[in-house]
Amino acid sequence: MSPKSFKCSKCSKTANDKKLSVNCDSCKIILCGDCHGMTPTEVRVFELKTIARVVSFLCVDCKSLMAQIPNIMKQLEDLPKEVHHLRLRQNMLVTEGAIQELAERTKRANNIIIYDVPESTSDKPL
Ligand SMILES: [Zn+2]
Ligand SMILES: [Zn+2]
């Protein structure tokens, strides 16, 4: 196997043209020319290592993840608030439960338990 051959992470095609392959800067998968959707010129610019590279390539998966980051950040911001609300709600439920149990016990304590109920007189054959 030639050291220059690589396997595309997307289509699993083994290709030899390293020039047309691209590594995702985030998840480091290697994509072939068919899958990364860049022109050879774009790839060459992307692969320039002599200058400080400001261009970063992200695969489709990472791009869609990046697009979700603002939403995720927003959800993370709201999380402590939500936890606080849930705790309050839980406390309320616990208190409600305790009150109900207390009421139930009081009700039961007031019930008159009748003793001396005549037992069944039927003979049980052994
Ligand atoms: Zn591919
Ligand atoms: Zn990626």
Q: Which ligand sits closest to the CA of 7?
A: 1
Residue 31 Cα to ligand 1 middle (Å)? 5
Which residue in 70, 58, 71, 67 sits closest to 27, CA to CA? Answer: 58
pLDDT > 60? residue 1: no
Q: Which ligand sits closest to the CA of 36?
A: 1
Q: Which ligand sits closest to the CA of 65?
A: 2
Residue 14 Cα to ligand 1 middle (Å)? 8
What is the rounded average pLDDT of the residues 103-108?
88
pLDDT > 80? residue 97: yes
Per-residue pLDDT, 89: 93
pLDDT digit string, tens, across residues 51-89: 565 667 888 889 898 899 899 899 999 999 999 999 999
Residue 51 Cα to ligand 2 middle (Å)? 23
Token pair for 52: 């400080």
The two most distant CA atoms of the chain are separated, in Å, by 105
CA distance linking residue 112 with residue 119, whole number of Å:
19
* Residues with C-beta atoms within 5 A of ion ligand 1: 8, 10-11, 32, 34-35
CA distance linking residue 102 with residue 108, whole number of Å:
10
Query: What one-character-per-residue DSSP string does 6-35 give?
Result: EE-TTT--EE--GGG-EE-TTT--EE-HHH
Query: Could you say which of 3.30.40, 3.40.190, 1.10.3470, 1.10.357 is the CATH number of the domain covering 1-58?
Result: 3.30.40
- Residues in Cβ contact with 74 at an 8 Å cutoff, skipping those fewer than 6 apart: none
Higher per-residue confidence, 115 vs 43: 43
Distances (CA, A) of 95 to 2, 50, 64, 105, 115: 71, 67, 45, 15, 35
Per-residue pLDDT, 2: 46
Q: Which ligand sits closest to the CA of 10?
A: 1
Pick from 54-63, 93-102, 107-116: least confident: 107-116
Residue 23 Cα to ligand 1 middle (Å)? 12
What is the rounded average pLDDT of the residues 25-30?
87
Domain regions of the chain by residue span: 1-58, 61-109
- Residues in Cβ contact with 71 at an 8 Å cutoff, skipping those fewer than 6 apart: none
CA distance linking residue 66 with residue 25, whole number of Å:
12
